[in-house]
Structure 1
Amino acid sequence: MARRRAVGVVAVVLLLGGYGVADAADVLPGVLTTSPAPAAPMPYPDIQLPGDLVAPVVAGPDADAPAPTTAALRALAEDLAADHRMAGSFSMVVADVLTGETLLDRDGGTARLPASSLKVLTAAAALDALGPERTLKTVVVPDGAGRVVLVGGGDVLLAEGEGDPATVEGRAGLADLAAQTADALADQGVSAVEVGLDDTLFTGPQYAADVSGIDLTFVMPVQPVAVLAGRAGSGFVADPALEAAQAFAAALTSRGVEVTGVRRTPAPADAEPLASVSSAPVGEVVRQMLKVSDNSLAEVLARLVAVERGAPADFAGATASVLAQLGGLGVDVSGVHLTDASGLSAQNRVPPSVIVEVLLTAMDPETTSLHGLVPALPVGGLDGTLAGRLTDDGAGRVRAKTGTLIQAISLSGTVVTQDGRLLAFAVLADGIPAGAALQGRLATDAWAEQLAACGCS
């Protein structure tokens, strides 16, 4: 409507006096104007700042703080159950991090649809199996037939251009890989090559069995190499690995190498790399995955766990490997059923007690490989998927993985209560009628705010 009004004004002005009048009226660009001369600018204010600026101190967990009573926590849970916004059924577990004691168990052993809270399990398995310092290499090897082969190693956050050491997305760049390759080819006197793509690190279907339709706008086809997780506008490219190979070929061309074609072909097993680039450490990739709830990264990390364990790098092998890795940490996963590793599948089932057990394990002083998990969770009112949520009593006190599907919601993480006690919790709700998930999420957020504000001792 505003654009139509503007067009109408232009038409009237042109009829009254042509372009010169329109120019003078500041409707069309030009040197004329009827506007008064602008006033002289006011002097810039001279603001005196105090000499010693210090950041506010936010109280952390207090080992001497009183733990909430089970009766108080049960009352909060009943308030959530009575909230008219909370449709469907929910299960909840709250535990004391200091002692490991379960303070509240409301059907905590009931396996429910976890949505993206499942990523807590995937993150723990990836950190433990791969190690937080591991980097993922993308290499180029010769195959002895006038071809160089781009070999995907699990880095799906490649930059199309040069890598940026200050970022997680785009830490390694295809332009850097091409520059190294071009230099190596020049040393060999080679000026023309075919580009091959080896993306055989992963096998099987590229989507979970029941992930289709609108779900495909939330995850890329699972492949071991991609530019910025294969994103394209509001969705994903159809073949992220091939797109990456074509971007690499274009970068080679810009370096003066003639590229005669691009096609999939396996790399020789014993070939020495001509070039390589490395991703951000796995710990940083896991943090990125948890903060923004990146489904593609979750699926890729789970497949890398399968590769590490020598299992097939498909959906079945990846989910089985995640559970096996957690079992090796002492987590009882007997009640868990997984179809994917991101939480998109509606066939996943996880008891909230398992998620809390993983969180407690991650905060165990002896489980050093997992110590980056809880700090990587979104913080209420600050960042990630909680940037605009839990902005009252939960702000800065709640760290949690969110989860939202059409029929399920979840919230799983930690909270420092008003008394200073550190708790771990998981709330999973499913069986939610279509269209009611947002209201249920608001009710769950209100419960988390109450828990953060709770004296409860």
Structure 2
Amino acid sequence: MTPSVPEPPETPEPAQPDAELPVAEFAFPGPLRDRLVAAILDGRKTTTTALAVEYDIEGEALPEVGSRQRVVDSAGRAVAVIETVRVRLCPLGEVPWEHARDEGEGHEDVAQWRRGHERFWRSEEMTAALGAPLTVDDGTVVVLEEFRLVRRLDAAEPLPPPPPGASGASGAFGAAGVPGAAGAAGTPAGSDTRAPHVDATVPPSAPVRARRRDRGRGRAAMVIAAAAAALLALAAGSAVGAVVRPSASPAPAPRTSSPAATPTPTPAATRATPAAVVPASPIRDCTVDGPLADPGLGTAASVVLNAETGEVLLDRRGDVPAQTASVMKLATAAAALRVLGPDYRASTTVLRGPDAGTIVLRGGGDLTLSRLPSGQESVYPGAAHLDDLAAQVRQARAADPELAQTPVSRIIVDSSLFGGTTWEDTWPATERQAGWLSHITTLQVDADRADPTVFLSPRGEDPVGRAAEAFAAFFPGATIDRDGATGDGSALAEVSSPPVSELLAPMLVPSDNTLAEMLARLVAIESGEGNTLADVDPAIRSALEDLGLDTEGMTFADGSGMSRNNAVAPELVAALLQRADADEDGLGPIVGALPVAGESGTLAYSNRFTGDNQVARGKVRAKTGSITTAYTLAGFVDAEDGSRLIAVIFATDRVSEASRQPIDTLATAYYRCGNRLANSPG
């Protein structure tokens, strides 16, 4: 099932004159554009596709349903007005045939449609513009847009050229996310992907629609080169993502806030690195200097331990705190097990109100609570259901003589358990649209997904409101009061989340950011640090130090790893994993909740452990991480020689989606070396 923005009711003709509408350009000027425009004019073409990462890079919102644009041909003439009628996000591997067919290019199936698009995304023009190839896989999030032909502009006139020195429309990137370059070749055949070009020009007064930007004639080569460098620094996939986060995910936009201050740690804690570095020796003669030096790793850091003996087989910058991406979720999992315990459940309750007709809906931090009918599973197996909560309320009120004859007329909503901001400063807003993260509130249903059954389903702007409305539907005529005094009425009903031990896999395997933030906030509350996002750092720090791990100089800015302000040393992650592998301090459940290469979660995507690295499929069990400035992997390697390794790999700074391959190659090298791994100078 693909998440979508519902179609709006029929709207009246816009007051905005055609000449002031944004311009929509399909492909480069030339035969391909003219074929696509002809398909729009005769009704064969009603859909188009773009990479979600483009919106992250330019900091733009997704296309709005109901927005209109002028379509221009290769001569720069406005020939039609189109209107967006539907916008969806989904992984590239799940694009439906109906969408591909309606792009009007005559493709016989989705596979043929995808090959045409990927030829463009991986074309020499794209690679030359980026300075590096763009990685596109099943999990890459794409924006599927449907539109309708509003009218032809039969008296089409060429668009006027820009004034001297003007550079055309604003924005640094074109339809495929590449900088416009003078003399760029046409789009490869069979690809309806908007791209930069230098022919048809648009005056600054005529805004150009995102993803179909006109480069204009005046953009300097220096600006183009800077844009290419920016894309190298920003392009990423997931969290989403992101959004296009790795995993199936869309990439976060660049974060700009400054790093958070690190509280002074408890001096009694000691680094939990098991032993002194073992130097290269005759029996440890397997070196990985080549894979470690791959420029795709940016600034590489890695620690490898023998899981059984605790020996440090390899250490590269292992004591240097760095951005973690979603590997941060391992610290969150450990803190949750330590502070909350494996059996902890978050509860949603309904209380008696101040009068007989009023009830109080109180959120307890269970973001897995579902609005689906009982018996239907959401993305969270075993989640509680609103209809069960409502049924308990009706039963309790029917059994109470003071309430039985009075219908529920008002529902007071209490969402005060979590305080402060609901969104960290460095999290891109596009992560909500791409389905990687919701606003963090104490009351919400299905982690605020538009579709409770789809992992990457868009999230909204008011999770509390969505939950309250879904609950109120069980009490016809009842009003919702989000400001009323809740009082201390007795409980009428309660439902609870699955226990923490059962939430670890849903958090770690697909890399669920919302679950991670939920657990982190509950840890902060339970530990007494507070109930805001700012309290997550001291709460996780305290939990890890209680486990004997030294957190000096480190920052835990959030629970999911989405923040670029996180800074954790690889050796701490390795020590945490060593405790989990030995099932010390109750951390054992983490091991079984990790993705497995080639088999599950974010390690099962088609671009992970491919080619020569396939030998390590099924042998690497690890948490992945992906944000624009950090790609990471941390977990276990069951090596070829029978030894078991703990491996942590951080690739930071100048990295991109393509960094996943050298990370996999390095992990595979660890698999091949096993206990013979040499810690030779890097």
Shorter-chain TM-score bucket reads 0.7 to 0.9
TM-score of the pair, normalised by structure 1: 0.79
Query: CA separation in 1, counterparts of 2:557 and 2:342?
Result: 25
The correspondence of residues 176-187 of structure 1 with structure 2, limited to 5 A, is 176-187=388-399
Query: CA separation in 2, counterparts of 1:96 and 1:414?
Result: 10
- Structure 1 residues 265 and 336 mapped into 2: Cα distance closer, same or farther (>3 Å)? farther
Aligned residue type for 1:378: P
TM-score of the pair, normalised by structure 2: 0.54
SS in 1 for 2:498: coil
Query: CA separation in 1, counterparts of 2:495 and 2:479?
Result: 23
The Cα offsets for residues 234-283 of structure 1, whole Å up to 9 and x where unpaired, read as 43111112211110111233xxxx413342445334x3210111111111
Say if 1:377 and 1:401, in contact at 8 Å, map to a contact too.
yes
Within the candidate set 208, 214, 224, 2:442 is matched to 224
Matched, 1:310 2:502: no
Say if 2:339 and 2:526, in contact at 8 Å, map to a contact too.
yes
The structure 1 segments of at least 4 consecutive aligned residues displaced by more than 4 Å after TM superposition are 1-8, 68-76, 164-167
Query: CA separation in 2, counterparts of 1:76 and 1:194?
Result: 69
Within the candidate set 376, 383, 397, 1:171 is matched to 383
- Structure 1 residues 165 and 4 mapped into 2: Cα distance closer, same or farther (>3 Å)? closer
Aligned residue type for 2:641: D
Say if 2:413 and 2:480, in contact at 8 Å, map to a contact too.
no
Aligned residue type for 1:247: A
Q: CA offset at residue 76 of structure 1?
A: 4.6
1:272 is aligned to 490
Query: CA separation in 1, counterparts of 2:285 and 2:361?
Result: 56
1:425 is aligned to 647
Q: CA offset at residue 74 of structure 1?
A: 8.8
- Structure 1 residues 226 and 260 mapped into 2: Cα distance closer, same or farther (>3 Å)? closer
Query: CA separation in 2, counterparts of 1:243 and 1:166?
Result: 19
The Cα offsets for residues 138-178 of structure 1, whole Å up to 9 and x where unpaired, read as 11001223321111111101110334497734620001111
Say if 1:113 and 1:348, in contact at 8 Å, map to a contact too.
yes
1:297 is aligned to 515
Within the candidate set 389, 404, 407, 2:626 is matched to 404
Query: CA separation in 2, counterparts of 1:166 and 1:239?
Result: 23
1:98 is aligned to 308
1:210 is aligned to 426
The correspondence of residues 251-266 of structure 1 with structure 2, limited to 5 A, is 251-253=474-476, 258-265=477-484
Matched, 1:89 2:299: yes
Matched, 1:113 2:113: no
2:414 is aligned to 198
Within the candidate set 595, 600, 608, 1:383 is matched to 600
Matched, 1:414 2:636: yes
Query: CA separation in 1, counterparts of 2:309 and 2:674?
Result: 18
Q: CA offset at residue 357 of structure 1?
A: 1.0
- Name which of structure 1's ranges 74-83 and 331-340 shifts more when overlaid on structure 2: 74-83
Say if 2:596 and 2:603, in contact at 8 Å, map to a contact too.
yes
Query: CA separation in 1, counterparts of 2:472 and 2:285?
Result: 61
Calculate percent identity across the aligned residue pairs: 35
Q: CA RMSD in A?
A: 2.6
Matched, 1:149 2:360: yes
Query: CA separation in 2, counterparts of 1:331 and 1:87?
Result: 27
Q: CA offset at residue 87 of structure 1?
A: 4.5
Query: CA separation in 2, counterparts of 1:7 and 1:220?
Result: 37
Query: CA separation in 1, counterparts of 2:280 and 2:428?
Result: 42
Query: CA separation in 1, counterparts of 2:617 and 2:484?
Result: 51
- Structure 1 residues 249 and 74 mapped into 2: Cα distance closer, same or farther (>3 Å)? farther
Say if 1:200 and 1:266, in contact at 8 Å, map to a contact too.
no
Aligned residue type for 2:630: A
Say if 1:164 and 1:173, in contact at 8 Å, map to a contact too.
no
Matched, 1:440 2:650: no
Say if 1:74 and 1:104, in contact at 8 Å, map to a contact too.
no
Q: Structure 2: which 5+ residue stretches go unaligned? A: 1-34, 45-277, 452-456, 677-682
Query: CA separation in 2, counterparts of 1:111 and 1:213?
Result: 26
Say if 1:112 and 1:429, in contact at 8 Å, map to a contact too.
no
Aligned residue type for 2:470: A
Within the candidate set 219, 226, 237, 2:460 is matched to 237
The Cα offsets for residues 402-422 of structure 1, whole Å up to 9 and x where unpaired, read as 111112110001111011111
2:671 is aligned to 452
Aligned residues between the structures: 388
- Structure 1 residues 336 and 163 mapped into 2: Cα distance closer, same or farther (>3 Å)? farther
SS in 2 for 1:236: coil
SS in 2 for 1:420: coil
Say if 2:354 and 2:486, in contact at 8 Å, map to a contact too.
no
SS in 2 for 1:140: strand
SS in 1 for 2:412: strand
- Structure 1 residues 220 and 7 mapped into 2: Cα distance closer, same or farther (>3 Å)? closer
1:134 is aligned to 344
Q: CA offset at residue 80 of structure 1?
A: 1.9
The Cα offsets for residues 182-224 of structure 1, whole Å up to 9 and x where unpaired, read as 2222332221321111111111111112223434443211111
2:190 is aligned to none
Say if 2:634 and 2:648, in contact at 8 Å, map to a contact too.
yes
Say if 2:597 and 2:620, in contact at 8 Å, map to a contact too.
yes
SS in 2 for 1:330: coil
1:34 is aligned to none
Say if 2:432 and 2:460, in contact at 8 Å, map to a contact too.
no
Say if 1:158 and 1:169, in contact at 8 Å, map to a contact too.
no
- Structure 1 residues 142 and 453 mapped into 2: Cα distance closer, same or farther (>3 Å)? same
Within the candidate set 578, 581, 592, 1:360 is matched to 578
Query: CA separation in 2, counterparts of 1:7 and 1:320?
Result: 59
1:346 is aligned to 564
Query: CA separation in 2, counterparts of 1:337 and 1:304?
Result: 18
Query: CA separation in 2, counterparts of 1:263 and 1:334?
Result: 42
SS in 1 for 2:491: coil
Query: CA separation in 1, counterparts of 2:279 and 2:647?
Result: 15
Query: CA separation in 1, counterparts of 2:547 and 2:375?
Result: 35
2:260 is aligned to none
- Structure 1 residues 421 and 265 mapped into 2: Cα distance closer, same or farther (>3 Å)? farther
SS in 2 for 1:284: helix
The Cα offsets for residues 422-457 of structure 1, whole Å up to 9 and x where unpaired, read as 11111111111xxx4122111101111222233553
Higher RCO structure, 1 or 2 (CA under 8 Å, sep 6+): 1
Query: CA separation in 2, counterparts of 1:230 and 1:342?
Result: 17
1:28 is aligned to none
- Structure 1 residues 166 and 216 mapped into 2: Cα distance closer, same or farther (>3 Å)? closer
Query: CA separation in 2, counterparts of 1:169 and 1:196?
Result: 29
Matched, 1:372 2:583: no
Say if 1:161 and 1:176, in contact at 8 Å, map to a contact too.
no
Say if 1:141 and 1:148, in contact at 8 Å, map to a contact too.
yes
Say if 1:319 and 1:339, in contact at 8 Å, map to a contact too.
yes
